[in-house]
Amino acid sequence: MAAAPPPDPTVLIEDLVEEFLLRIPPDDPASLARAALVSRHWHRVITGPVFRRRFREFHRSPPLQGYISNIHNSIHFVPISSFRPRHADLDDVIAIHSSPGRVLLCRRPGKGLDVFPGKGLDVFLSVWDPITDELRDLPALPLPVVPGPCTCNWDAAVICAVGEGCNHIHCGFKVVCVGTSQRRDFSCVYSPEAGSCWSDLIFAASGEHTNSFETGTCVHAGSSLYFLSRFNHEIVKYDLLTDRMSTICFRVEPDAQINGMATVLIATEDGRLGVAKTSNSTLGCSTLHLWIRDHERWEERRPIELRMLLPDDALRDPQFPPEFFPDKPWLAGFAGTGAGVIFFKTRLGYFAVDLNSGRSKNIGGCLGWGCIIPYVSFCIPAPGAISTDEGPEAGLEG
């Protein structure tokens, strides 16, 4: 019997090249873009659909590329990886939510921005892709008309239109808005695939509510969106499969209440809802508390002293009482990448804390409001978008 022919060394080398390229860290897209300039073969591999799919499957969770800070009536993108957007600053908008690859912005042409508009003031949203710099304006929100000087209270989120299991390669999006008007909860959805218009308002069947939504607090966990309602210890759940709203009470002990910038919603890798909250003792110690909702019950994880996560000079000065606002480390946001990243605002700037490793990183000074909008996405060179005349951050796609 004739012996099998020896393997083609060229094929073996090509396979090794792809395996090497797959292991480039996803938070260093500039290196991936530079690698695409090495040769035509490397360019063909990196910009091909098979590599884009394998790269996402290999690294699983999209990396944190940066965060967006609201500064008055404008936004500023602060990179914490090698990714650089074409425009780091946009005027006359504020960021209220993000999902992998996209950021939801609120705008009002010709007027000062106000996320709690009163009667007669239209609210417009836009979906921005920082990688491609594409900005898609949405029609005015169909908020209920409120009589007199009352206001309509709302929050919104942008999500992938495909849902769980999507690899986020050229997928669509939809925007979900929830709110309260005259003590009645309502929701509506925008989908480009459904005629590029908002759906009719759907009012919750349950009784009256006094929810006080604050934009920028939404988290996506499993098949639901969760919105934080300040001051009444409730979390509003929007089921993406049934389009129904319900409320979840978060009142597990007297001091575990939803209050101001000491609380953010989080999500676990397996799609469960969680709550993170900070507390300060009279001895000057700051503690991070985590609760995970499992089988309709809140289970508290082991409290973590913030001195184990943050440097000493970022914590509150013990000579001041716990109520001294400027020196408290405040929770500023959550990014659902990997096991999750929690952001703190301290007197030294923003810190990102990886919940899996416990490692913290100073990611920049505190600009604008206390809360930030994290941005996570894969950035991979797009076909035909890279030439030798372009910089390392050019020609990337989500």
Q: Domain with 365 in it: what CATH number?
A: 2.120.10
Q: Which domain holds residue 15?
A: 11-50
Residues 33 and 152 in one domain: no
**pLDDT value at residue 117:** 45
Say if 393 falls within a structural domain: no
Please name the amino acid found at residue 6: P
Tokens of 241: 């499969």
Residues 72 and 131 in one domain: yes
Q: Are 276 and 334 in contact (CB under 8 A)?
A: yes
The predicted model scores a pTM of 0.86
Say if 325 falls within a structural domain: yes
Say if 55 falls within a structural domain: no
Residues 125 and 33 in one domain: no
Say if 358 falls within a structural domain: yes
**pLDDT value at residue 168:** 60
CA 185, CA 207: separation in Å to the nearest integer? 9
Say if 398 falls within a structural domain: no
Long-range interactions of 45-53: CB distance < 8 A, separation 24+ = 45/14, 45/17, 45/18, 45/21, 46/21, 46/380, 46/381, 47/380, 47/381, 47/382, 47/383, 47/384, 47/385, 47/386, 48/383, 49/169, 51/18, 51/21, 51/22, 51/380, 52/169, 52/380, 53/167, 53/169
Neighbours of 164 (CB within 10 A): 10
Name 267's bridge partners.
273
Residue 22, H or E segment: helix 9-22
Residues 41 and 65 in one domain: no
Q: Are 255 and 240 in contact (CB under 8 A)?
A: no
Alpha helices in 205-350 (DSSP H): none
Residues 17 and 150 in one domain: no
Name 64's bridge partners.
376
- What is the full per-residue pLDDT of the chain (398 aa) written as tens digits? 555 565 555 556 667 888 999 999 999 999 999 999 988 889 989 988 889 889 998 998 889 999 999 988 889 999 999 999 998 999 989 999 999 999 999 986 544 444 444 444 678 999 999 998 999 999 998 888 766 545 568 899 999 877 666 666 667 899 999 988 877 889 999 998 777 789 999 887 766 666 678 778 899 999 999 998 876 678 999 999 999 998 888 865 545 555 555 788 999 988 899 999 887 654 456 788 899 998 888 998 888 888 888 888 777 555 444 454 445 678 889 998 877 899 998 888 899 999 888 889 999 877 766 688 999 999 988 765 554 344 344 456 66
**pLDDT value at residue 224:** 94
Residues 110 and 193 in one domain: yes
Residues 325 and 202 in one domain: yes
| Phi, psi dihedrals of residue 16, rounded to the nearest 5° | -65, -40
Residues 32 and 142 in one domain: no
Please name the amino acid found at residue 19: E
Say if 236 falls within a structural domain: yes
Q: Are 388 and 395 in contact (CB under 8 A)?
A: no
Structural domain count of the chain: 2
CA 216, CA 231: separation in Å to the nearest integer? 16
Residues 34 and 120 in one domain: no
Residues 35 and 73 in one domain: no
- Whose tokens are 């008309």? That residue is 145
Say if 254 falls within a structural domain: yes
Output the DSSP codes for 97-126.
EEETTEEEEEE-TTS---SS-BTT---EEE
Residues 102 and 162 in one domain: yes
Residue 170 backbone zone (phi > 0: left; psi -120 to 50: alpha; other: beta):
left
- Indicate the Cα dihedral angle 328, 332, 337, 341, nearest 10°: 0
Say if 381 falls within a structural domain: no
